[in-house]
Amino acid sequence: MRVVGTAGHVDHGKSTLIAALTGTHPDRLKEEQAREMTIELGFGWLTLPNGEEIGIVDVPGHRDFIENMLSGIGGIDAALLVIAADESIMPQTREHLAILDLLQIPAGIIVLTKTDLAPDPAWLDLVETDIRAAVSGTVLDNAPILRVSAKTREGLDDLISRLGTLLESKPARLDLNRPRLPIDRVFSMSGFGTIVTGTLLDGHLALGDEVEIVPSGQRGRVRGLQTHKKKESTAVPGSRTAVNVSGIDTESVQRGEVVIHPGQYQPTRRLDARLRLLKDVSSSLKHNSEVKFFVGASEAVGMLRLLGTEELHPGEEGWVQLELRTPIVTVRGDRYILRRPSPSETLGGGVIVNHQPKGRHKRFDEKVLRSLESVMQGTPADVLFEAALALNIASLRDVVTRSRLEAADAETALKELLEAGSLIPLEEGPPAIVGDLLVITQPHWNALQDKTLQMVEGYHKNYPLRRGIPREELKSRLKLSSHAFNALIRKLITDHLLTDHSAFIAQPGHEISFDHSQQARVQGLMRKFEQNPYSPPSVKECEAEVGEEILNALIELKEFITVSSDVLFRRQDYDLMVARIKQEIQQKDSITLAETRTRFNTSRKYAQALLEHMDATGITTRDGDFRKLRRK
Ligand SMILES: Nc1nc2c(ncn2[C@@H]2O[C@H](COP(=O)(O)OP(=O)(O)OP(=O)(O)O)[C@@H](O)[C@H]2O)c(=O)[nH]1
Ligand SMILES: [Mg+2]
C-alpha cells in the first residue's frame, strides 16, 4: 500500500485534481467549500492500472495553513507538486518544494495543471523551463513534468499511468513488526466511539490488538479497521488507515499522537539531529532559538541548541540538540521540519540521529560531534543491515561489498544480525562474508513470504480446478532470479507453507474440487464413458462436453489416462485393458493390433493408441505386427 500527497501554491488546483482523479472532492468542510480553499487535510484513493489501490492526501496551499500541510505530508511515498499553468511558480510552490526536499520524499511528479487556461504552448514551454530551474538539485530534480487540465481531463490518464510506473519502481513499505500510526484526524462516530486516522508505518495492526496512544499513554483495543473506507481485519504498512479504538475518550486524543503496540516506542523531549537551514531563510539561526518542530503528524515547541557553532547561516548544515516542551514519539532516521514561531517561516529540517540521547550535550566538544557523526553512520550492524535492505535478496559477498565495511567489522556485524534474526539465510550453507549464500533482511522476508503465499492462494481461488500455480509463472510474477526463486520455494516448502508437485506449487492441503454444476457435467461425461468404455468420446468431444479446465482437472486427478493427443480412457478401463493384454501376451507370447481390436470390440484408432502408449511407457515392445512384453 502506498500514499501519495499533493503540494503546491494556494488555488493552483490540487483539490480539483484529486477530485478529477478519484471522483470525490477532498474539501469536506462547509468553510472550505464556501471559501473554495483547503484548510484541513483531505483524503481520497484510487486504483492504479496495475490494480494497486493508493491513498491520496490533499494538503492546503495557503501559507496560513502550512502547519496542517506538514501534518499530512510526512508519511507519503510520492508527491504530486501541482503548479497552475497560468500562474507558474509562486511562493508556496517553492516552500512546499523545499519541504519535500528536506523530508526526502522518495518519488514525485510535477503536475502542470490548468493547461486549458494557458495562452499558448510556447507559454507552457517557458513555464517548464522555470520549473526545471526551480527543482534543480532537489528530490524532484529528475521528476517528470506532466501537462494536464482537471477541467478538460486532458492528460489525467497519462498522469495515473505514470504514477503507477513510478510507484512500481519503488520498494513497498516494510513491515518491521512495530506499527506506529501518527494520528492526523480524531473524531467520534455514534455507536462506535473514537476513530483515529493516519498513514500506518513500520508494522501492521490487527483487529483485537491492544494499543497504546502515546505520549498520553492511554490504552485501548482495536475494535475496527478500515483502509479506503473498506473494513479490514489487518492494516498493512503504508496504508491510509482508520482505527476504531475502544475504551478511549475522543476528547482525550490529540492530533500528532501515535497509536502503537504498548511499550514499543517511548515518548521523548530531547533529540539529536542533523539540521539543514534553507538557502532563502530571512536570517541566520542563533543558538537557543525557539523553534516549532514537526515530525510525522505531530508538532512541538522547543529550544534549539547549536552544538558546533554559535550561528547557522542560510544554506548551512550542523549538529543540533532539541529540547522540546512537550513529548513526542519519533525514531532515529525520521525526517523533521523546523519553523520559526514568529514571524512564521519554514527554517529547515533534516534527520533525527538519536531519539534518546543520554543527556544534554556539551557544546563545541569534539568528542560529542564525532560521536554524532558516527551514530549517524550507524554501528557496523546498522550499516550491514542497511546494505542488505537496499539489495533485497543478495549474496553475502554483495551485501558486504556494498556496506564498505572492513572484513573484521563485517564478520562481527554479520554474526550479530544472524543471531538477532534481522538477517535470514535463504539457503543452507556457511555464512561466510565472501560467500555466495543468499540472505534477506527480516522485513523483506516477511513481505516476500506474504506476497508469495498470497499469489499461490490467489491462484487457487482463480483456478480451483488446477493443482497449483506453474513454477515458471510464479517465478516471473515474483520477478526473481532462478537462484533466489529456487531458494525461496525450498525454504517455504521446508517450513511447510507450500507444497511442490514438480512443475506446480500449491498450498498444503489444496485439493481440486468441483462445484454442483461442474459435478453434474462430470457425471454426464462419465456415463458416456461407461456406455462405451473402449471406444469412449475423443479428447475434443470431452472438451466440448465439460470444458478444457474440468477435463484437465480430471486428468490431473488421474480419473483419466491420456494415451494419445486424441484418445483417453477412464483409469479403471485403462488398467483393465492393460491387464488383459498382458495376460494374453503371457498366454500366447504376443498380441497383434487386430487381436487387440477384436478383444475390446473397438476400432483401430483406439487399439493403436493404447498399444503405442504401452510401448512408450515400457510395458510392451513392438516387433513387426507383434507386441511382446518388455523384459525387465
Ligand atoms: N480552468 C481550470 N480551472 C481549474 C483547474 N483546476 C482547478 N481549477 C480551478 O481553480 C480554483 C482552485 O482550485 P482548487 O482545486 O481549490 O485549488 P487548491 O490548490 O486545492 O487550493 P488550496 O487547497 O486552497 O491550496 C477552483 O476554482 C478550480 O475550479 C483546471 O484544470 N482548469
Ligand atoms: Mg485544495
Ligand 1 atom having least distance to the Cα of 61: 25
The model's pTM: 0.74
The whole-number pLDDT of residue 435 equals 86
Among 11, 147, 152, residue to substitute to test ligand 1 (most atoms within 8 Å of Cβ): 11
Tell me which ligand sits closest to the C-alpha of residue 10. Answer: 1
The residue with cell 483547503 is 38
The whole-number pLDDT of residue 190 equals 87
First-to-last C-alpha distance (Å) of the chain: 60
* Bond prior to 215 in cis (omega within 30° of 0): yes
The whole-number pLDDT of residue 174 equals 78
Cα separation, 78 vs 166, in Å, equals 9
**321 beta partners:** 272, 305
* Bond prior to 343 in cis (omega within 30° of 0): yes
**Any atom of ligand 1 within 6 Å of the Cβ of 114:** yes
Listed as ranges, residues in the chain with pLDDT below 50 are none
Determine which residue's CA is closest to atom 32 belonging to ligand 1.
114
Determine which residue's CA is closest to atom 10 belonging to ligand 1.
13
**Any atom of ligand 1 within 6 Å of the Cβ of 512:** no
Sign of the alpha-carbon torsion through 368, 374, 375, 376: positive
User: How far does the centroid of ligand 1 lie from the alpha carbon of residue 11, in Å?
Assistant: 5
**Any atom of ligand 1 within 6 Å of the Cβ of 149:** yes
Alpha helix positions (H), 392-512 = 396-403, 407-420, 442-462, 471-478, 482-494
Determine which residue's CA is closest to atom 7 belonging to ligand 1.
13
For Cα atoms 416, 417, 423, give the angle at the middle one, nearest 5 degrees.
160
The whole-number pLDDT of residue 376 equals 85
Buried b / exposed e over 172-211, threshold 16 CB at 10 Å, is bbbbbeebbbbbbbbeeeeeebbbbbbbbbbbbbebebeb
The whole-number pLDDT of residue 632 equals 66
Q: Could you tell me if residue 541 is left (phi over 0), alpha (psi between -120 and 50 degrees) or otherwise beta? A: alpha
* Of 459, 273, 307, the residue nearest 451 (C-alpha): 459
The whole-number pLDDT of residue 1 equals 85
**Any atom of ligand 1 within 6 Å of the Cβ of 62:** yes
Cα separation, 13 vs 2, in Å, equals 22
User: How far does the centroid of ligand 2 lie from the alpha carbon of residue 6, in Å?
Assistant: 9
User: How far does the centroid of ligand 1 lie from the alpha carbon of residue 361, in Å?
Assistant: 48
Cα separation, 605 vs 619, in Å, equals 19
What phi and psi values does residue 352 have, to the nearest 5 degrees?
Answer: -75, 125
User: How far does the centroid of ligand 1 lie from the alpha carbon of residue 131, in Å?
Assistant: 19
The residue with cell 538557502 is 279
* Of 16, 76, 3, 110, the residue nearest 46 (C-alpha): 3
Cα separation, 3 vs 19, in Å, equals 16
Alpha-carbon separation of residue 159 from 109, 117, 128, 298, 540 (angstroms): 9, 19, 16, 31, 47
Lookup: cell for 425: 539465510
Determine which residue's CA is closest to atom 12 belonging to ligand 1.
11
Cα separation, 322 vs 336, in Å, equals 12
